[in-house]
Amino acid sequence: MLNIIPYPSDCREKQGYFELEENEVIKSDFDLSVFGLKTGESDRFIIAKNDKLESEEYTLTVSKDCIRIEACENAGAYYALQTLRQLSRCELGGKKIPCVEIKDKPRFEWRGLQLDESRHFFGKEEVKRLLDMMFMMKLNRFHWHLTDDQGWRIEIKKYPLLTEIGSKRKYTHINGWQSISTINEEYGGFYTQDDIREIVDYAQKRNIMVIPEIDFPAHCASAIACYPWLACRELEREVPGYFGGSIPERVYKMWDWNRTICVGKEKTINFVFDIIDEVCSLFPAPYFHIGGDEAPKNEWKKCPHCQAVIKENGLKNEEDLQGWFNNKILDFLKDKGKRLIGWNEILKAGNLDKSVIGQYWTAKRDKNAENHINSGGNLIMSNHKSFYFDIPYGKYPLKNTYCFKPEKFNVRPENIKNVLGVEGENWTEWIDGREKLDLCMYPRVQCLAEVAWSAEKDVNWDNFLKRLDSFKDYYRYLGINYAVDKVSMPTNPFTRLHINAKFMNGDTHLEVKLNKKYIAKGEK
């Protein structure tokens, strides 16, 4: 068994080894500068262009005398080198590469990872560190959640208050969903447009597409704090520091605050178009994520502007009003050559254009998502129990991620082709830095990579665990605070109950502490 994650789709082991030389020279038809490898004339190590292969497909042949890689595009060549990287373990001191013949290509087009930077801000170097691991794991979609109620993290030239005011909050909610405790310190941070360009370029060189998420019409409290006219009622409110629904009366004056923009005002619609215009100029990806989830509609029901739009357009209700709003954005994006993505709640609208891409996240069954994909629409699968990486392992153990199958969510076998792919979500209400981010992501990212890339026949839990044990040497080499087996695969039901209870109300970092304790005892 070869120690490769994700496992190649067609792999034949041979006898013998190829031994790497110091400063090995590679003859390549592709630019290898991203790897820092030495190129030139060589008959020992050859990377050749083969136009008959698909864009991310590659072949890799290792004999005792020669390594030969064939690919159609950079992506395939780069993925072959990532496979070779694990085979050789050269960073870990290895020099011998086992002889092998590999023909490999991905199962899904969309192999994604998301990072929420509204709740906690990580900065460029942390994002690059994440992109490096994505590259190693052949993940190719970075979904960047840049705005939400608790912070606006992207510079918009036309609306400077979004970062002057919207990127800062005066306090931060701690100790879990049922707590009302706070740290009463200012918290902030945002990316300049130059920062964004730098990250997008860094990702592109690693075959990673960056998809921005700018949330509308809900999760907009940070924007409304800057420009109160965006809401149905113009209330002066601060950027909130509480997460979810845990908002005490003392903060928002008897619950009187706005989370959803007014889609009945032309001025608000123009604001949204202005934002999309600037954001699209920074992200060349042919996708734009609008969010659209958890959109309260009470304000719309009372708003004369929203009700006028419903009447003028013959809409059935406020759900169709959100559909009308999303269709306007969808048409605006079409002119820019982009497709609209939204969380699966937006599929409730009966008037929504069928070209929209739904992202299926909800823990409960959603028949609207099922109908969308089974009638020809596209979905990205981010099922809560498998791909919500911020949730404790005590609730969703590692195997939940590895054993994901679209069929479990009522996608008919003939419609699997409509699944663009899978994506892991890192919501950061309770992830405040590298230590916990690492713990939540790893080894879940390795499971995600195999589910996204490997042929279904090669997805084998017991086999994966053996390869994961070998991969842990990379975690240690890269300084990654991964979850050891006793944390990522807990077996004691009382421990699991305790972790989950603390997560909701008390200690959201309990698993971090347990991980340290187990590592000190020599657990892996």
* Measured distance CA(356)–CA(132) in Å, rounded: 30
Helix (H) / strand (E) element for 224: namely helix 221-226
Q: What is the dihedral sign for C-alpha 227, 232, 233, 237?
A: negative
What one-letter code names the amino acid at 290? Answer: I
The owner of tokens 């800062």 is: 168
Cβ neighbours of 409 (radius 10 Å): 19
* Measured distance CA(521)–CA(519) in Å, rounded: 5
C-alpha distances (whole Å) from 278 to each of 275, 283, 290, 437 are 5, 9, 14, 30
Q: List all residues 6 or more positions away from 405 whose beta carbon is below 8 Å from its beta carbon.
A: none
Q: What is the dihedral sign for C-alpha 411, 412, 413, 418?
A: negative
Nearest partner of 301 among 321, 324, 323, judged by Cα: 321
Q: Which residues are catalytic?
A: 148, 219, 294
Cβ neighbours of 85 (radius 10 Å): 16
The owner of tokens 């920074």 is: 282
* Measured distance CA(141)–CA(159) in Å, rounded: 28
